Amino acid sequence: MYQSSALGLDPYQTQEPESAYQTYAAGQDPYQAYQHGHGPYQPHEPGYGLYQPGYSPYDDQIPDPKSRMLAIQNAKAYLLKSSTTSGLNLYDHLANMLTKILDEQPANAVDIIENISKDVKWAQFQKKMDTLRDEHEILPTFEAAEKHKALFLRANGEGDEELEEEIGETPLPNVMETAFYFEQAGIGLSKDEFYHIFLALKKLISVQPIQTCRFWGKILGLEMNYIIAEVQYHEGEEEEETEEEEVIEEGGKGMGEVEDEDEKKEDEPPKSTYKPPPVIPKEENGTGANKYVYFVCNEPGKPWVKLPPVTPAQIVCARKIKKFFTGRLDAPVVSFPPFPGNEANYLRAQIARISAGTQISPIGFYQFAEEEGDEEEEEGGGRDTYEENPDFQPLSVAEMVGSLSAWVHHGQSILNQGRCVWLNPFQKSEEEEEEDEEEEKAEEPNELQQEIGPPLLTPLSEDEGIQNIPAWTAEASTNLIPQYAVAILQSNRWPGAYAFASGRKFDNIYFGWGHKYSPENHIPALPPPVQAEYPSGPEIAETRDPTLEEELAFKAAREEALAAAEEEEDEEDVDEDEEDEDDD
Amino acid sequence: MEAASLPAALELAAGGGAGLSPEKRAVLGASLLLLQRDYRFERVWFWGCIRGVRGAYYIAEGLGPDRAAPRSRLYRCGGPASPPLRAADGTCLGRWDRGGRFRGWGEKRGRSEGAAQLSWREPRCAPEGPGKAASSPVLQRARACVVLVAGSLNCVEWSLLPPVTEEMVAQAEQLKGRFQGDPSFEYEYTEINAEDAERLFEDGKEPMIKEESRLVATIEQIDKAVGIIPRGAFVKTPLGSVRENRNFEGLSLTEAKKLSSYFHFTEPVNLKNKTLLEKADLDPSTDFLDSLEHDIPQGSWTVQLEKGGTVVVLRSLLWLGLTFYHVPMTKQYGYVYFGTGEKNLDLPFML
């Protein structure tokens, strides 16, 4: 018997059973035993609480059985009555509930009794549907797990020969090592995700002819995120995608010529003298902002997509807008000034900006190539190639953390123009000379100053801070164990860009939303001012229309003048156009 | 996130690239437990980390029996070099040395007395010491918002943050820019208008605000704006206090992707504006908070399935860095903030 001593009831007050049912509420009369003779005094003794006034404690036989039995049967029948709405009955429900409670023995069951009751009902309802078997749910989680599993499978047909190749020089970066060092600073994704990315990069390398590959980072988006790999192709193996772009440009020019011919037949409306600023050509693949090729995927396991090379116009526009990425590469970027491209181009432009601003390395790791004769045609005289320094002596962690001049940028910075190497757009090239024949040259080419940015491999101490915040925050990963600490740099200009250095190893990574930090609120570009109307002068000044009398008078005066002119045999040119203009 | 499930939770919330180093994880695991013991909290939540320019603040929140009561917040800062402690007039009182001890300049080793800032070792509100904090009547009231700020290099010591006042929040909203990483740093009002200055400082006080106040105001703002819980995780008892729902088994996958299944864990604002029809469908024990669907601007939350669809991660775009995770059909959920502590006011332009 499960008796609970309900405290708080007055032990000296005998509860008069008012209903027809005897309630064996224990603990009510703990002292009654004293009053009525010997009986079980303690709760653990059998028969405790059964003692009621008028009955002996060992009296299990219920007196007056008939009426009591009838009452019990009525009660039970009532409890067994099925509900009209749900088909359950209270008796079964209570039995199930008590069974569940006794099986599970939750703490403080009385506090959650309603929830238990609800759960029992819910379970009941489900069971009745067993006659129809549920179709096995294909959760999206299963499909994702399939994709992940596919990463772990090796492609068929690879024998032991492949194994040997892989162990040798491979462009695959050691992502887990990088993950370990960044984890010392508390930066990075979970180990699982890193490993998946590792395998996805391996897949990328096996598909594309890649010379060097690096995990660039992860950019978060609204619907999906981007995982980005920075890649350099083998020389000469790059696919020629530039042909498509040239074809589109030539097609556009052809259309323009056809339209000109049609209009020459009629009176030409005044031709606009507006000459759009020249389009600055993008940098060649493999140089400047397009030095690396970037592949993105939404999740490791999904196919990698190559991002198109970036154009200066896109970079210039990306500097003016601030938009979240949605996660779909073909999504349009709705902004002002209108971004020339879709999200893939915007992503590429942001990656270019981030790389240019935050790719750093310990000083001395890279050095300039010694041969100066191989420099390409550059007007600025800056160098854009570097190579690893075989004599690199790593600095200690304390020095790397203490002074920012121990780090240098190895990403070329992007000028205001949108390129890394300045190009004068007004330089006469073969195509532009044809267009310049008819029109005068604008005076602008002389005004464009050559833009010079900081040269490659400048130390970080030259970086400007924002207001009073330095551009980089340096710290060691741990102060408790300085022997094995890792030097960590966090960028304050591009929050989310990190770099670490430990001995000869270093790397950069980006985890963030892809935007630059600005303490001021983002001010979108205003629309350009309203264009001025045609400059007003006396020729187009409106005057009042002449009245009939004025016209007749004028006509008469004119005839007199004509007659006078004929007499004098002087011909004067009378502008009869004035009348026509007044009618407008 | 619950201090007890810190390691597992950090793995789930790591999608954004921010987390804790193994050293911090280990030290937090121990010190949060000690916090619970010292302050007699029923629950300790690791709130997150606010990165300043020169250091970071690690924040923990302690909850009492009523989970909806204002929370105690404690902070500790970790940084490359701990900044020197300054008195209100700017004189430098000393600094922490490498061993984590506080050295006052010109004074004996140990606490510097008479500092405008109370001693680092003792919480602000309870002069008797952490052990007796629970009995102090002042602390009982202020129990809700204790921010522990640990101010030493090894970040084992926690300090209590003062309870937040509206004035603090109003002042903190005027400030822009990053946190410095030094709790005693004082901001000067250079950009404020003359009218605002008169309004805010009628007493003629000098317009300076300490970083500590800004910290606690920011934490309060973040909690109010984007601290979320799944629907059904907490129940309101008939007596009015809020407890965890022991019958909460997690949201289903379809429910977990909807914004209406998540609530702001703060005083509801929109609840009373609902129509009677809507209110009729609500369950007063679980639906006593505002849901996320009517957040302005719309789209200020991103809902993603990560780790192959097993974890639902919500990220706030208004306070960049706040991540909420939940594993559907399990009891695991929590939110954590890793960020710079600045509101993203450009949000309408960025969507």
Bigger pLDDT: A206 vs B194: A206
Identify any residues that bridge with A506 across adjacent strands, giving them in sequence order: A501
Q: How confident is the model at residue A65 (pLDDT cuts 50, 70, 90)?
A: confident
Nearest-CA residue of chain B relative to A149? B308
> What is the percent of chain A with per-residue pLDDT over 90, rounded to a whole number?
16
pLDDT number for residue A33:
43
Q: How confident is the model at residue B126 (pLDDT cuts 50, 70, 90)?
A: very low
> What is the percent of chain B with per-residue pLDDT over 70, rounded to a whole number?
72
Nearest-CA residue of chain B relative to A402? B80
> What is the percent of chain A with per-residue pLDDT over 70, rounded to a whole number?
70
The mean per-residue pLDDT over the stretch B147-160 comes to: 53
Which among A265-274, A419-428, B217-226 has the top mean pLDDT? B217-226
pLDDT above 50 for B90? no
Q: Which two tokens stand for residue A141?
A: 């989680």
Cis peptide before A277 (omega within 30 of 0): no
Separation CA A408–CA A358 (nearest Å): 10
pLDDT number for residue A86:
75
pLDDT above 70 for B100? no
pLDDT number for residue A442:
40
pLDDT above 70 for A150? yes
Q: How confident is the model at residue B212 (pLDDT cuts 50, 70, 90)?
A: confident
Q: Which two tokens stand for residue B157?
A: 């010591």
Q: Among A334, A339, A303, which residue's Cα sits nearest to residue A320?
A: A339
pLDDT number for residue B103:
41
Q: In Å, how far is B246's CA from the nearest CA of chain A?
A: 8
Identify any residues that bridge with B74 across adjacent strands, giving them in sequence order: B60, B160
Nearest-CA residue of chain A relative to B257? A223
Bigger pLDDT: A384 vs A22: A384
pLDDT above 70 for B89? no
Supply the pTM of this predicted model: 0.72
What pLDDT digit, counting tens, does each position of B264-284 carry?
A: 998 888 877 788 888 877 877
**A37-66 burial, b if ≥16 CB within 10 A, otherwise e?**
eebbeeeeeeebbbbbeeeebeeeeeeeee
pLDDT above 60 for B51? yes
pLDDT number for residue A444:
42
pLDDT number for residue B105:
40
Q: Is A397 on the interface with B (CB under 8 A)?
A: no
Amino acid, single-letter form, for residue B263: F
pLDDT above 50 for B153? no
| List of chain B residues whose C-beta atoms are within 8 Å of the C-beta of residue A489 | none
Q: How confident is the model at residue B319 (pLDDT cuts 50, 70, 90)?
A: very high
pLDDT above 50 for A340? yes
The mean per-residue pLDDT over the stretch A306-316 comes to: 91
What pLDDT digit, counting tens, does each position of A567-584 carry?
A: 877 555 555 555 555 554
Bigger pLDDT: A69 vs A46: A69
Bigger pLDDT: B322 vs A137: B322
| List of chain A residues whose C-beta atoms are within 8 Å of the C-beta of residue B177 | 467, 469, 519
pLDDT above 50 for B227? yes
Separation CA B152–CA B115 (nearest Å): 17
Separation CA A416–CA B282 (nearest Å): 57
Identify any residues that bridge with B334 across adjacent strands, giving them in sequence order: B325
Nearest-CA residue of chain A relative to B52? A473
pLDDT number for residue A253:
46
What pLDDT digit, counting tens, does each position of A355-380 carry?
A: 998 999 888 888 887 655 444 444 33
| Three-state DSSP class for residue A549 | helix
pLDDT number for residue A207:
87
Q: How confident is the model at residue B102 (pLDDT cuts 50, 70, 90)?
A: very low
Whose tokens are 């950019």? That residue is A219
The mean per-residue pLDDT over the stretch B19-36 comes to: 88
pLDDT number for residue A216:
93
Contacting A with CB below 8 Å, chain B residues are 11-12, 14-24, 51, 53-54, 79-80, 98, 153-154, 176-178, 246-247, 253, 299, 302, 304-305, 307-310, 315, 317, 320, 340, 345-346, 349-351
Q: How confident is the model at residue A51 (pLDDT cuts 50, 70, 90)?
A: low
Q: Is A258 on the interface with B (CB under 8 A)?
A: no
pLDDT above 60 for B156? no
pLDDT above 60 for B144? no
Q: What angle do CA A398, A399, A402 make, to 5 degrees?
A: 80
Whose tokens are 């598909």? That residue is A207
Q: Is A151 on the interface with B (CB under 8 A)?
A: no
Q: Among B262, B241, B258, B270, which residue's Cα sits nearest to residue B335?
A: B262
In Å, how far are A95, A255, A314, B305 from A243, measured between CA atoms? 79, 19, 20, 39
pLDDT number for residue A511:
93
pLDDT above 90 for A433? no
Q: How confident is the model at residue A349 (pLDDT cuts 50, 70, 90)?
A: very high
The mean-pLDDT minimum among A50-64, A333-347, A529-543 falls in A50-64
CA dihedral (A492, A496, A502, A505) in degrees, to 10, reads: -120
Q: How confident is the model at residue B139 (pLDDT cuts 50, 70, 90)?
A: very low
Q: Is A572 on the interface with B (CB under 8 A)?
A: no
| List of chain B residues whose C-beta atoms are within 8 Å of the C-beta of residue A508 | none
Give the number of other CB atoms < 10 A from CB of residue B216.
27
Q: Do B302 and A524 touch (CB under 8 A)?
A: no
pLDDT number for residue A427:
65
pLDDT above 60 for A183? yes
| List of chain A residues whose C-beta atoms are within 8 Å of the C-beta of residue B18 | 186-187, 511
The mean-pLDDT minimum among A128-137, A154-163, A467-476 falls in A154-163
Q: Among A240, A340, A351, which residue's Cα sits nearest to residue A291?
A: A351
Q: Do A139 and B309 touch (CB under 8 A)?
A: yes
Q: Is A502 on the interface with B (CB under 8 A)?
A: no
Average of per-residue pLDDT values in chain A? 75
pLDDT number for residue A219:
94
| List of chain A residues whose C-beta atoms are within 8 Å of the C-beta of residue B309 | 139-141, 143-145
Q: Do A469 and B79 touch (CB under 8 A)?
A: no
Size of the A and B interface in Cβ pairs below 8 Å: 123
The mean-pLDDT minimum among A480-489, A532-541, B24-33, B196-205 falls in B196-205
Q: Do A186 and B18 touch (CB under 8 A)?
A: yes
Which among B24-38, B63-77, B191-205 has the top mean pLDDT? B24-38
Q: How confident is the model at residue B201 (pLDDT cuts 50, 70, 90)?
A: low
Q: Do A187 and B349 touch (CB under 8 A)?
A: no
pLDDT number for residue A133:
65
DSSP string, B122-148: S-SS-TT-GGGGGG-HHHHHGGG----
Bigger pLDDT: A60 vs A170: A170
Q: In Å, how far is A274's CA from the nearest CA of chain B?
A: 31
Bigger pLDDT: A534 vs B248: B248
Average of per-residue pLDDT values in chain B? 74
Sign (positive or negative) of CA dihedral B154, B156, B162, B167: positive
Q: Do A140 and B305 touch (CB under 8 A)?
A: yes
* Chosen from B96, B311, B350, B351 to mutate, greatest number of chain A CBs within 10 A: B350
In Å, how far are A8, A29, A38, A413, B326 from A26, measured between CA atoms? 12, 7, 17, 85, 46
Q: In Å, how far is A323's CA from the nearest CA of chain B?
A: 4
The mean per-residue pLDDT over the stretch A392-406 comes to: 83
pLDDT above 80 for B236? yes
pLDDT above 70 for A210? yes
Q: In Å, how far is B349's CA from the nearest CA of chain A?
A: 7
| List of chain B residues whose C-beta atoms are within 8 Å of the C-beta of residue A477 | 21, 23
The mean per-residue pLDDT over the stretch B79-107 comes to: 41
pLDDT number for residue A504:
86
Inter-helix orientation angle A191-207/A175-183, to 10°: 150
Give the number of other CB atoms < 10 A from CB of residue A129.
9
Nearest-CA residue of chain B relative to A519? B177
Q: In Å, how far is B221's CA from the nearest CA of chain A?
A: 19
pLDDT above 70 for A246? no
The mean per-residue pLDDT over the stretch A94-123 comes to: 86
Q: How confident is the model at residue B197 (pLDDT cuts 50, 70, 90)?
A: low
Chain A 207-246, residues with CB within 8 Å of chain B CB atoms: 217-218, 220-225
